[in-house]
Amino acid sequence: MSTVNKVYTSLRGISSVIKDIGRLREILSILIKHGFGVLITRLRLVEVIGVKNLSKNQDDANSHYSTSQRIRMALEELGPTFIKLGQILSTRPDLASPELIKELQQLQDQVPELPFEQIQAQIETELGQPLAQLFSEFDRRALACASIAQVHRAVLAREKIEVAVKVQRPELTNRIERDLNILYFLARRSEVLAPDLALIDPVGIVHEFEKAIYQELDANRELTHLQRFQEHFAAFPEVKIPIPYPQYCSQRILTLEFIYGVKITLAPKQFQLKPEELGPRLMRVLFRMIFQNGFFHGDLHPGNILVQADGRLVLLDFGMAGRLSRPQRDHILDVMIGISQQDYALVARAFYDIGIKMPGASYDYAAFEHDVILIMSEHFEDRTLGQIEIGQFFMALVRGAIAHNIRMPSTYTLLFKALMTVEGITKNLMPNLNFIEEAQPLVQEVLAQRYHPRRMLQDGGYLLLSMSKLLRQFPDTARQLLHDAEQGRLSFRVELKQWDCWLEEQRNLRQSMSLSVGFGASIIAASLALDSGPEGWFGLNMPSLVLYGIGAILGFLLLLRHWR
């Protein structure tokens, strides 16, 4: 078959799933230019390009760059969708090597500023009024320009307040949809034609990326994040969060208070501020987000952290944020305690509980704990706490977990990236800053809250409800098992090497159930005894006081077992 016929046949099949063949050709050509022709060959897409010799299309000027550098340069040339993909991959040490992550963190948006007429049209379409009625001043030149949006300084016409207006690029959604269509095509093709690539779940990665980029494209979502950060730091004078103006916002427009400041890395010289004050201040802000608020900024690079002349920190760009439930915060707290006390077993258990266990895979906790101990030894032994790189340690743990079929949830990888970025900024300001030591006051405060009697009783109540639900479901589950056994559909597979672990788990379960029943019975009995005698201490009669005391002790023992 001639080359022309091969190209025609290939394109006819691909065009049924690809909306823009021209864009696919452009993407493949850029990948070949940067030395990734082997990948194109493996995916059997050479005919789409219509060339016989891929090496002739490769740019020899790129040959002296490393693979990671060439990936970064290719993503930059491919445009907004792929730049954002690279930025998200930079938070995934389970998918990218340390060298690639470091390179992806340097991704730059190299896009020209849009003509003012397009920006004006976008604002008027989104906000439904002429620009002159909305703003008494509006700078035609952008303050900042990126692949997703550009920012202009303006003054609100009615309020006479100076603001920054973030305007999303017109037609951006259509371009991203086109690129996502191609990414899904390439991912599915990879899973079929490149089994080694299938192991990292390319389609799943693209799906996760799709959710992330559409969330970041929604300015209303960023507005919600901004308002939440304002609420959390309202009584925290060391931090300034810009005031948003919702009436001048839409899905593609974000208008907020204009704040003057300089990048945190330039502040010590610009304002003669002490680095030993700025570094710990930034750490306290991040730790407060993690342990107290459970809601953290996911993109704390120096460009998003300004400093005012009085030393206050100003946070910007709230499109990427992460949430941590109370149990998730407890796990991170356990890790921090384990690091400070060199308790390797506590760190291993906390990370094991954090991870997502891959379906159908086998697990060996002893081997996992052994590898965690090796990683901790590598990062902590013969080092002072000030020399420890906590962000690098977390990333190493994430990569190590993959070998045991355990994947970290994306919230944690985003958190670890934030920790690593802030650690880098603070150590640039103060090379000997002790990351763990700075966290201690807040860790102690959160620990006190964890072991407060009110919370322990609350957690005990939750555990009791969970056990009650389990007991209610048990008859139906047992009935189904018996039915399956009668029908010959029940089979057992026992691995003897896990037998001791299983027996230990059963002993722990029985003990936990006994404590739960005792706790529940004590609380119920104490409540029923409230009216059985005269009031004493704390407004309770003696029987109720004794029963509540027994319940508190049993609840405490139950929580200790749960936390271990």
Q: What is the 3-state secondary structure (H, E, C) of 370-420?
A: HHHHHHHHHHHCCCCHHHCCHHHHHHHHHHHHHCCCEECCHHHHHHHHHHH
Tokens linked to 353: 């509980």
Give how far the C-alpha of residue 345 lies from the chain's centroid of Cα atoms, to the nearest Å: 25
Residue identified by tokens 């970290």 is 408
Which of helix, strand or coil describes residue 503? helix
Let me know the angle formed at the C-alpha of 361 by 355 and 365, rounded to the nearest 5 degrees.
55
Residue (of 277, 335, 312, 315) closest to 421 by Cα position: 315
Phi, psi for residue 165 in degrees, rounded to 5: -115, 115
Tokens linked to 72: 């970064």
Residue (of 82, 120, 126) closest to 104 by Cα position: 82
Cα–Cα separations (whole angstroms), residue 271 to 241, 242, 309, 430: 20, 21, 6, 17
> Is residue 373 a contact partner of residue 352, using CB atoms and an 8 Å limit?
no
Q: How far apart are CA 528 and CA 113, in angstroms?
A: 72
Q: How far apart are CA 475 and CA 319, in angstroms?
A: 48
Which of helix, strand or coil describes residue 547? helix
The neighbour count for residue 528, using CB atoms within 10 Å, is 12
Tokens linked to 401: 């977990």
Q: At what angle do helices 390-402 and 410-429 cross, to 10 degrees?
A: 150
Q: How far apart are CA 451 and CA 369, in angstroms?
A: 27
Cα–Cα separations (whole angstroms), residue 41 to 32, 64, 188, 222, 334: 10, 22, 15, 41, 48
Q: How far apart are CA 250 and CA 223, in angstroms?
A: 9
Phi, psi for residue 147 in degrees, rounded to 5: -70, -25
Give the CA dihedral 231, 236, 238, 244, nearest 10 degrees.
20
Active site residues: 299
Q: How far apart are CA 414 and CA 459, in angstroms?
A: 28
Residue (of 206, 201, 202, 249) closest to 226 by Cα position: 249
Q: How far apart are CA 333 and CA 341, in angstroms?
A: 12
Q: How far apart are CA 311 and CA 163, in angstroms?
A: 21
Give the CA dihedral 423, 429, 432, 433, nearest 10 degrees.
-50
> Is residue 52 a contact partner of residue 92, using CB atoms and an 8 Å limit?
no
